[in-house]
Amino acid sequence: MCLAIPSKIVSIEGNTAIIDVDGVRRQASLMLLDDIKTGDYVIVHAGYAIHKLDEASALESLELLREAFAQAGD
């Protein structure tokens, strides 16, 4: 089962991070992802961070989506 809720990196020690998923804290391995820092949002699968979400581009694509539908007058 894919956990679709992104997790926030709370702290990092070596190759392991403490993550926060809607208030629940767990460990996640950073073996499959580079350049992670505290405060980043990541997708975690089976205890491993597999993707870092880019806030700026996520906001931009959401805004584009909203604009596309607003302009069409739907």
Partner 1 sequence: MKHSEEYRDTLLSRQIIKRINTVSRRPIRLMEVCGTHTVSIFRNGIRSVLPETITLISGPGCPVCVTDQSDIDAFIQLARNGKTLIATFGDLMRVPGSGSSLLMEQAEGRNIRMVYSTTDALELARQHPDTNVVFLGVGFETTAPTIAASIISARQMGLKNYFVYTAHKMVPPALEALMNTDGVDIDGFLLPGHVSVIIGVDGYAPFFEKYHLPCAVAGFEPTDILQAILCLAEQIETDAPSLANCYPRAVSAGGNSKAREVMNMVFEPCDAAWRGIGVIPGSGLRIRDEYGAFDAAKQFEIPIIQTVSPKGCACGEILTGKITPLQCPLFKTVCTPVDPVGPCMVSSEGTCAAYYKYN
Give residues in contact with partner 1 (CB under 8 A).
1-2, 4-6, 27, 29, 31-34, 41, 43, 45-48, 50-51, 53-55, 57-59, 61-62, 65-66, 69-70, 72, 74
**Given the DSSP bridges, would you call strands 41-45 and 24-29 parallel, antiparallel or unpaired?**
unpaired
Six-digit token pair at 62? 């959401």
Question: Minimal distance in Å, beta carbon 18 to partner 1?
Answer: 13
Question: Minimal distance in Å, beta carbon 13 to partner 1?
Answer: 14
CA distance to 59, 66, 67, 68, per residue, from 72 (Å): 20, 10, 8, 6
